Amino acid sequence: MSPAVDAVAQASPSLIGLLFAEGPWVGFARDAEGYALAFRDLTGGVRISPAASRAELREDLLAIATCYFDEAFGDAPTDLEATHAEIGDLLRWLAASEPDPACAPLLREAAEAVDDGLPADVVIARLAAAGGHGADAGPPAEPIARLAGRYEPPGE
């Protein structure tokens, strides 16, 4: 696993909620190259958690989207909370940059479900269908456990 990178973010990450009672907030950040899993501690420090592979990045971002629609966490701060539109953008980027021809259409279907305002359970089902694809993908992990497992506290 790649070490977490302390980020001096140009823009704050979009957050979906508090991962543990004592923090951090979990969400995603966008840069010129795409998206990444991001954590923001309660003092405002941002850590980007780089993925070791394209499949790992896909599963990280699908876990974020699933937890967002499952309302798995308490609300993030209003000014930093991810929106449906941002989740839709994230999924469209995943679909457009997906090298697996079997997975890309599933990601597009998930993005369309978000854009069309379909119920959360429909969106979650489409996200689950897109998970676990690709030659280097393992079985999909439970989304909260996946995000918790990807968090590396500062100094580790």
**Tens-binned pLDDT, residue by residue, of the chain (156 aa):** 344 554 444 458 999 999 998 889 999 999 888 999 999 998 888 999 989 888 889 999 999 999 999 999 988 889 999 999 999 999 999 999 999 898 899 999 999 999 999 999 999 999 988 886 544 444 456 899 999 999 988 776
Sequence-ordered list of residues with C-beta below 8 angstroms from that of 141, at least 6 positions apart, any chain: 59, 63, 149
In this structure, is residue 124 part of a structural domain?
A: yes
Provide the whole-model pTM. 0.87
Range of the domain at 24: 5-150
pLDDT value for 11 = 55
In this structure, is residue 156 part of a structural domain?
A: no
In this structure, is residue 108 part of a structural domain?
A: yes
Domain count, the chain: 1
24-61 as b/e, with b when 16 or more CB fall inside 10 Å? bbbbbbbeeeebbbbbbeeeeebbbbebeebbbbbbbb
> Kindly report the CA angle at 26 between 82 and 132, in degrees rounded to 5?
90
